[in-house]
Amino acid sequence: MRDFVLASASPRRKEIFKQIGIDIKVVESSIKEHFRIDDVPEQITMSLAFQKAIDVSKRVNDAIIIAADTVVVKGNEIIGKPKDKLDARMTLRSLSGKKHDVITGFALVDTNSLIKIVDFELTEVYFKDLDSSEIEAYLEAYEYVDKAGAYAIQGKGSLLVEKINGCYFNVVGLPISKINDSLKKYFDTSLL
């Protein structure tokens, strides 16, 4: 199996690899995440993932770089990471009883062949109708910190979700099955 390098410091993404039995090397990208708020979310995530992969590929040899970027989108609005508890509360209230999309762009770069693949995955997430006490109880768990959309589906945030349509791991931050499909198709390798 080829060496894989994850261009992300996200513990959630690293944990996904651990769950499938891969102790992946992590090299954090140093790019600054800048985008225009009126850009198309799929383009934003794919562009940022590609920038991260290229950045890390300049520092790593003989590996396939895997990079990703995830956003939460409600309607036409990109919902980022909350600034503080008040911002998280407002975000959770806005998501309550509604559907939103989680979009993860990913990039794969082979440092040997220089093959570069960029794609994305979209998952629809439907929140339950949440009352104020549920939102406050969730905020007390502090899972909202550093999470797009102010929740973590892999933790207590799972109690906020009524259902999803699409890839669960995409909501966590890495559409691992689609990434593996791309590795097989374009790089003749697999995570299995």
The first and second tokens of residue 31, run together, are 């790019």
Helices (H), 103-150: 132-140
Report strand pairing: 25-26 vs 161-165. Answer: unpaired
For 92, the enclosing helix (H) or strand (E) is helix 85-95
Report strand pairing: 99-110 vs 77-79. Answer: unpaired
List C-alpha distances in Å: 101 to 74, 95, 142: 6, 11, 22
Which member of 39, 62, 69, 101 is catalytic?
69
Please confirm, yes or no, whether 101 is among the known catalytic residues.
no
Under the phi-then-psi rule, with left for phi > 0, alpha for psi from -120 to 50, and beta for the rest, what region is 21?
Answer: left
**Active site members:** 69
